[in-house]
């Protein structure tokens, strides 16, 4: 059994906002640091009929992306998974990287979302700083694109279904705790602009931040110190929100 953990970063977008095709391409290109991975993509231009045919692609290859969706200005829907080895034990426990943006009709309780997933063995091999740079780029692009809320979870791949727990589909492999968390937020939390929970990483737009004390981020950074007094917090202040 692989026993991988997965770092999953997800941003949710209110109606009328969302990840542009240019932002998608920047994220796609940034993944080229994980050289040598290849995978399958289910992507298509926004407004076209969804493409259910898997296409082979190399990670970070803008050429491969353009071969599928063409025009650099078009918005892209869908995702890709790049694996270093063949999955074993379960399809949700793999060594690799995932990227996606989903914006399909589903009602106000089903916001558009962008996501990246990185397995723990790749984090160990390439370094946490490399992975945090990718996460920060995703945060910057999401902030520019009007995201209302976002998170980073780091958990067993089987528990969060390789990151799919944060999407719209309910999988039979999901634990009861995660099903309750998902259902409660989708039914009540998102519509009232409430956080899904407290995770390893959290992004709140300015409207959500305004409900907290004005010194919340500075206090958070000050209190997030180890026993030696070294600051451990990551606080990324953006134009339209902040990640902590």
Give the per-residue pLDDT at 198.
Answer: 87
Largest CA-CA distance found in the chain, in angstroms, rounded:
56
Instruction: Please state, in angstroms and rounded to a whole number, the distance separating the CA atoms of residues 138 and 99.
Output: 10
Confirm whether 235 is domain-assigned: no
Confirm whether 237 is domain-assigned: no
pLDDT tier, 136 (very low <50, low <70, confident <90, very high otherwise): very high
Confirm whether 18 is domain-assigned: yes
For residue 111, which of 211, 10, 239 has the smallest C-alpha distance? 10
Q: What percent helix, strand, coil does the chain show, rounded to 5?
A: 30, 25, 40
Confirm whether 236 is domain-assigned: no
Instruction: Name the residue with higher pLDDT: 172 or 210.
Output: 210
Q: What is the pTM of this model?
A: 0.89
Instruction: Please state, in angstroms and rounded to a whole number, the distance separating the CA atoms of residues 159 and 165.
Output: 8
Over residues 209-228, the pLDDT tens digits come to: 999 999 999 888 888 777 77
Confirm whether 240 is domain-assigned: no
Q: How many domains does the chain have?
A: 1
Confirm whether 244 is domain-assigned: no
Q: Which residue range is the domain that position 191 belongs to?
A: 5-208
Q: Residue 2, Cα to own-chain centre: how many angstroms?
A: 22
Confirm whether 223 is domain-assigned: no
């Amino acid at each position: 059994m692989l026993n991988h953990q997965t770092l999953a970063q997800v941003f949710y977008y209110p109606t009328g906002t969302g990840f542009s095709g240019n932002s998608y391409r920047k994220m796609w290109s940034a993944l080229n640091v994980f050289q040598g991975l290849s995978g399958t993509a289910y992507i298509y231009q926004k407004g076209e009929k969804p493409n259910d045919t898997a296409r082979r692609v190399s990670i970070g290859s803008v050429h491969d992306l353009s071969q599928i969706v063409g025009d650099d200005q078009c918005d892209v829907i869908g995702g890709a998974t790049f694996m270093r080895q063949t999955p074993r034990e379960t399809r949700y426990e793999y060594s690799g990287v995932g990227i996606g943006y989903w914006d399909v009709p589903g009602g106000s309780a089903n916001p558009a979302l962008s996501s990246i997933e990185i397995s723990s063995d790749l984090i160990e091999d390439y370094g946490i700083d490399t992975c945090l740079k990718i996460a920060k780029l995703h945060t910057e692009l999401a902030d520019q694109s009007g995201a209302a809320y976002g998170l980073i979870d780091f958990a067993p791949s089987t528990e969060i279904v390789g990151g799919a727990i944060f999407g719209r589909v309910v999988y039979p492999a999901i634990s009861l705790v995660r099903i309750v968390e998902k259902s409660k937020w989708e039914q009540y939390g998102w519509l009232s602009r409430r956080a899904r929970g407290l995770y390893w990483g959290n992004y709140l737009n300015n409207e959500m931040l305004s409900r907290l004390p004005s010194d919340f981020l500075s206090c958070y950074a000050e209190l997030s110190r180890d026993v030696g007094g070294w600051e451990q917090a990551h606080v990324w202040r953006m134009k339209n929100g902040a990640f902590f």
